[in-house]
Amino acid sequence: MKTVSVSKGCFAFKGKVKRVKSEDFIDVNDNENAKFCLNGHKKTWSQVNEKFRKLQSNMVKNLFESMFDYIASCHSDFNLDIASSKGKKSARANEIPTAVLITGVNTPDHAVMFSSLIQMLQNNVSPLVASLSSKTCTTSRSTIRQVLNQILEQSSSWHFEDDDDADEEEEEGEQSSNSHVYTKQSPCTLNTLANWYSNKYKKTEDSPSPKKKKCLSDRPSLIRPNHPSIIFVFEDLESFAIRPLQDFISMCSYYLSRLPIIFIFGVATTLTAIHSSLPKTISSLLCMEKFQAPAPSEYLTRLLNEVVMTTDVPFKLGPKVFEYLLDTFLFHNFSILNFMKGFQFSILDHFFSFPFSYLCVTEDNSKTISKMLASANPEQIRQIPSFMKYVEMCPARKQKCLLLNDKLLKGEVEILIQQIHDYHKNFFPILICLHSLVGKLPKYPLGKQLRELYVLCLKNPIYETEAYSESMNLLTFLAKDELQKTLNQCQTKLLEMSLPEALCYIPDMICNFLEKLQKLDDASFEDSSSSEDESNASEQTVLPKRTNLHNLRKTLQEMEKKKKKMTRYEKLSAEILSFLNETFRKFLLCPMTLPLHEVFYYDCISTLRECLAACPRAVLQKALSNPHHYLQCSCCESEPGVILPSYPDICVAYKLHLECGRLINLYDWLQSFVTVVDENNEDEKSKKSDKLLQARFIQSVAELQYLGFIKPTRQKTDHVARLTWGNC
């Protein structure tokens, strides 16, 4: 249904949008530290963005390669010879090769995926690629128009690497055959595309030039310049109108003998969505092959392992920010792009809000910290919360030096920064080691994924939590084979990483424990356990048959004091768990307890939530009820409940509509609006001023309707209905 509005006119004026650069946020000429912050932001984001781009290409590399192989195998025997095509038409199946790409529900990421897919198709498979979306392909005619416009424009840029003279001769030859050249006056049908394709590629089949043959041999095997395939990419197949889609598939099937057509369907849910939307007569014309895109959760895991939980990137997310971005991804959008936008904003806000963020550099560049600290304000360093706690814990003599000696203070800052780098090098390998031990325990006390364990480590010391104690207790109940398997996995993951010197002894100790486990004698274990059971049974028979409650309790307490003899496996298992427990307590410290952790960790959740999860209704109500908050105009500043004539018209209309009930009389609303806006109420108004005020009122009402505050109603012709309640 068309929207019925109070105002029928809509005028748009395109203005020049100036892009804001990071240099515009601060004046880098006034402060030397501001330059360091700007350079640090650029380096950090370029490093993160480069890793993200590589991850994107690696994740879809295998998917696209298998899809390209399938597309290249289709229409391999295609021939433009009319006689042979007619002879093969009856023998060939009229099924269109179709690659069904299951993209998943993360719709914000689909645009990037399909843009890279189309670009790689044009570079590696065929230049004749058309991208079709449900917004532009509402009818069959509009779909064919999109196909003709895109394919004929793209094909002009695809040419063989010949001399310029050869290209000019080909262009003159194509212009001479006016019957097959596509122009604006040509009919918008697939027959036009078939004639153009036959005219363009029939020459290369009949008599290719020697230079072209040489160029063909240099191209990859997937490219067939003589008969390139025509690929139609449907980005959002489930949103297409059913009838135009059916007609287009039927027409493409009819022209399959003249055009090597291939479909690529982008499906967000499952393959059954195609069969449920298309009838059997149409779906039988498609020869479908399924291709599954990587799951968003798998994408996130790779991203966190390669960008967030690594020592390569010095910038880290705090517990609140990391958990917020993680929950937004898992419970709301499943979008990697939105996660990266939040990560990018965190980097931006960190480097332009914290004065010593320029110290967030990699360990390779830590030698330049002394130069950066030359112009730093020592008093600002002393006011950092974590550094204040560190000074309070130092001896009295060192406290005095740190508070009075600026040179010693800056030297101590360099030492603390280096300690954080060493902490990160030790923290992440031990974190992976702990996850390999507890990642498959029953009920997952410390989480199933590594990211869940990382969040717990960011919040508090992991060894002080109840979940950690429960996990260590569960490890004591592991059988010998299960413990060996778990230790083998832990050792394998540690050996795959480049460990620092402080952790090199851990794989050797695990290997030593594995050798001891293999040497255990299971028979002695069973004999000792059976003998202990017999001794316990004999002790139980010593208890008197008749006794009072006091003597029974005393006897039981004495029996509990007698320690049960541990088996060889239990002793070894306790030794292994004791070693691991000491290792975790030594290296898995909470990063929020480290001095100067604010340099590396960003944890301002309020700013991030305000920018990424805005509340448009609250913001609109605040702007309309208090325009001075945004306009910063002295004439608009007033007390609550007062309506000034200097307010913008929409603010006046909004405040007046708050005084009404569910239905608002437009005439009464207009009179109130005129009373407030017109400063010369006592004088007689001219017709010109009346029309001007009415036009301003109608424009304000139309804007309020567009924002969703009111709507027309059929209950009363001269009334509008109010849609929102409450005031900001």
Q: Are 196 and 182 in contact (CB under 8 A)?
A: yes
User: Do 229 and 282 reside in the same domain of the chain?
Assistant: yes
- Would you state the structure tokens that stand for residue 442, as one six-digit string? 């029953």
**CA atoms in the 13 A half-sphere facing the CB of 663:** 9
pLDDT at 166: 38
User: Do 196 and 126 reside in the same domain of the chain?
Assistant: yes
Give start and end residues of each alpha helix (H) in 439-561: 450-459, 466-476, 480-496, 505-518, 522-541, 549-561
User: Do 349 and 207 reside in the same domain of the chain?
Assistant: no
Is residue 258 helix, strand or coil? coil
Q: Is the predicted pLDDT of residue 460 greater than 80, yes or no? A: yes
Average pLDDT value for residue range 451-458: 95
Q: Could you tell me the sign of the dihedral formed by the alpha carbons of 689, 692, 696, 698, in that order?
A: positive
Share of the chain above pLDDT 90, in %: 38
- Would you state the structure tokens that stand for residue 491, as one six-digit string? 């050792």
Looking at per-residue pLDDT, the higher value among 627 and 455 belongs to 455
User: Do 273 and 373 reside in the same domain of the chain?
Assistant: no
The DSSP call for residue 359 is G
Show the CA angle centred on residue 526, arms to residues 525 and 530, nearest 5°.
Answer: 120
In a domain, 452, yes or no: yes
pLDDT at 34: 84
Q: CB count, 10 Å around CB of 67?
A: 20
Domain span at residue 197? 61-162+177-293
How do residues 269-327 score in pLDDT, each as one tens digit?
Answer: 888 888 888 899 998 999 999 999 888 888 899 999 999 999 999 999 999 999 999 99
How do residues 230-250 score in pLDDT, each as one tens digit?
Answer: 999 998 888 899 999 999 999
Give start and end residues of each alpha helix (H) in 32-77: 32-59, 61-73
d(CA 232, CA 576): 60
Chosen domain end from 227, 261, 293: 293
d(CA 246, CA 398): 81
Chosen domain end from 262, 277, 293: 293
> Position 177: which residue type?
S
When pLDDT is cut at 50, 70 and 90, the band that residue 30 belongs to is very low
On average, the pLDDT of the chain sits at 81
When pLDDT is cut at 50, 70 and 90, the band that residue 60 belongs to is confident
Task: State the CATH number of the domain containing residue 68.
Answer: 3.40.50.300
Average pLDDT value for residue range 513-518: 90
Q: Are 592 and 318 in contact (CB under 8 A)?
A: yes
Q: Are 132 and 232 in contact (CB under 8 A)?
A: yes
d(CA 267, CA 99): 10
User: Do 287 and 371 reside in the same domain of the chain?
Assistant: no
pLDDT at 676: 87
In a domain, 505, yes or no: no
Q: Choose among 303, 300, 294: nearest CA to 52.
A: 303
pLDDT at 525: 45
Q: Is the predicted pLDDT of residue 93 greater than 60, yes or no? A: no
Q: Count how many domains the chain has.
A: 3
Q: Are 188 and 144 in contact (CB under 8 A)?
A: yes
Chosen domain end from 293, 320, 346: 293
> Position 533: which residue type?
D
Tell me the longest C-alpha to C-alpha distance in the chain. 120
When pLDDT is cut at 50, 70 and 90, the band that residue 437 belongs to is very high
Q: Is the predicted pLDDT of residue 35 greater than 90, yes or no? A: no
User: Do 457 and 339 reside in the same domain of the chain?
Assistant: yes
d(CA 30, CA 15): 32
Q: CB count, 10 Å around CB of 625?
A: 16
In a domain, 549, yes or no: no
The continuous run of DSSP H or E covering 711 comes out as strand 710-712
In a domain, 519, yes or no: no
The continuous run of DSSP H or E covering 642 comes out as none
pLDDT at 455: 95
Which residues, in sequence order, are CB contacts of 254 under 8 Å at separation 6+?
A: 94, 190
For 527-581, the DSSP string reads HHHHHHHHHHHHHHHTS-SS--HHHHHHHHHHHHHSPPPPPHHHHHHHHHHHHHH
Is residue 232 helix, strand or coil? strand
**Which region among 133-142, 309-318, 492-501, 614-623 has the lowest average model confidence (pLDDT)?**
614-623
In a domain, 559, yes or no: no
* Phi, psi torsion values for 89, nearest 5 degrees: -65, -40
d(CA 33, CA 356): 8
- Would you state the structure tokens that stand for residue 421, as one six-digit string? 């780098």
Q: Are 412 and 402 in contact (CB under 8 A)?
A: yes
Is residue 277 helix, strand or coil? helix
User: Do 104 and 245 reside in the same domain of the chain?
Assistant: yes
User: Do 589 and 709 reside in the same domain of the chain?
Assistant: no
The continuous run of DSSP H or E covering 97 comes out as strand 96-102
d(CA 234, CA 134): 8
d(CA 341, CA 326): 13
Q: Which range among 15-24, 45-54, 362-371 has the greatest average pLDDT?
A: 45-54
Q: Is the predicted pLDDT of residue 23 greater than 50, yes or no? A: no
Is residue 602 helix, strand or coil? strand
Average pLDDT value for residue range 68-88: 69
pLDDT at 620: 87
Q: Is the predicted pLDDT of residue 346 greater than 60, yes or no? A: yes
Average pLDDT value for residue range 387-403: 92
The answer to pTM > 0.85 is no
Average pLDDT value for residue range 81-89: 46
Distances (CA, A) of 308 to 305, 388, 434: 6, 28, 18
In a domain, 337, yes or no: yes
User: Do 588 and 671 reside in the same domain of the chain?
Assistant: no
When pLDDT is cut at 50, 70 and 90, the band that residue 224 belongs to is low
Show the CA angle centred on residue 473, arms to residues 472 and 477, nearest 5°.
Answer: 110
Q: CB count, 10 Å around CB of 339?
A: 23
In a domain, 494, yes or no: no
User: Do 683 and 712 reside in the same domain of the chain?
Assistant: yes
Strand order in the sheet with 663-665: 663-665, 719-722, 710-712
In a domain, 429, yes or no: yes
User: Do 343 and 430 reside in the same domain of the chain?
Assistant: yes
User: Do 595 and 629 reside in the same domain of the chain?
Assistant: no
The continuous run of DSSP H or E covering 101 comes out as strand 96-102
